[in-house]
Amino acid sequence: MARRLDRIDLLRAAAMLWMTAFHFCFDLNFFGLIQENFYRDPFWTGQRTAIVSLFLFTAGLSQAVAVHQQQSWARFWKRWLQVAGAALLVTAGSVAMFPKSFIYFGVLHGIAVMLIIVRATAGWGAWLWVLGAAAIALKWAAPPAMTIWPALGVLNDTWLNWLGLIDRKPITEDYVPLIPWLGAMWWGMAAGQWALRHRPMWLGANDAPATGVKRGVMKLGQWSLSYYLLHQPVMIGLLWLAVGRS
């Protein structure tokens, strides 16, 4: 089995811990224990942007390593099915909890689509930097384009807004469309390929086997998908019990 690179797992674990803290505050707000606007306050929206960016950049790094280690397409599709299946579970859970704003294209849905695109374009070299920049720039180009050509407003419809070429955000609890987020994963792939060629030690290629706390944090990074699916039900359940008893 190809060796995992510890620092990518640590980076992914950092994103998971940050996400957990963010979601815990969101849950406190949901139960009325604090009063915050998670949809408009820059303090919270900025954190969400940073957390999702870190997730997708790390996913790009991991794909760069997978390609470098000649991971087979069969293994890729096995992992992809896990991500896609988890995305469907998130949708089902959100329908029960937020029936009017359920998640139909959140971070896992976005990752599932982006993984295919990024893996298929892995051989495009330095063009990945350009494509990533273009994907991010398109976010800002879409609204004025729709003002000039109103017919483009169809891109706001639910069946197309997963592309991200919109001028109004849909009502949903989590929304991670291809534009601009594909740019973060493309940049992760490009950065990973560069590092593997020129600075493999930055990714932990020469690190000694982890022990103690570091090893425990790495395990979180390695089991990120399972943790992602379980952390919210557990926190919501514990808060529900706590609120119910108070």
For residues 19 and 120, what is the distance between their CA atoms, to the nearest angstrom? 29
Q: Is residue 211 part of a domain?
A: yes
> pLDDT confidence of 184, banded at 50, 70, 90?
very high
For residues 19 and 26, what is the distance between their CA atoms, to the nearest angstrom? 10
- As for how many domains the chain has, the answer is 1
Question: Domain residues for 13?
Answer: 6-245
> pLDDT confidence of 208, banded at 50, 70, 90?
low
pTM of the model: 0.93
For residues 210 and 216, what is the distance between their CA atoms, to the nearest angstrom? 9
Q: Is residue 1 part of a domain?
A: no
pLDDT of residue 101: 95
- Averaged pLDDT, 191-200: 94
- The predicted-structure confidence for 47-81, as pLDDT tens digits, reads as follows 999 999 999 999 999 999 999 999 999 999 999 99
Q: Is residue 173 part of a domain?
A: yes
CB 139 within 8 A of CB 125: no
> pLDDT confidence of 1, banded at 50, 70, 90?
very low
The residue with tokens 């949809």 is: 39
Q: Is residue 23 part of a domain?
A: yes
pLDDT of residue 2: 60
Q: Is residue 120 part of a domain?
A: yes
Average pLDDT, the chain: 93
Q: Is residue 127 part of a domain?
A: yes
- Averaged pLDDT, 137-145: 96
- Averaged pLDDT, 41-47: 97
pLDDT at 239 over 80: yes
Please tell me the least confidently modeled range out of 110-124, 155-169, 209-223: 209-223
Q: Is residue 14 part of a domain?
A: yes
State how far the alpha carbon of 88 is from the alpha carbons of 83, 91, 93, 187, in Å: 9, 5, 9, 27
For residue 105, the cross-strand partners are 175
Q: Is residue 153 part of a domain?
A: yes
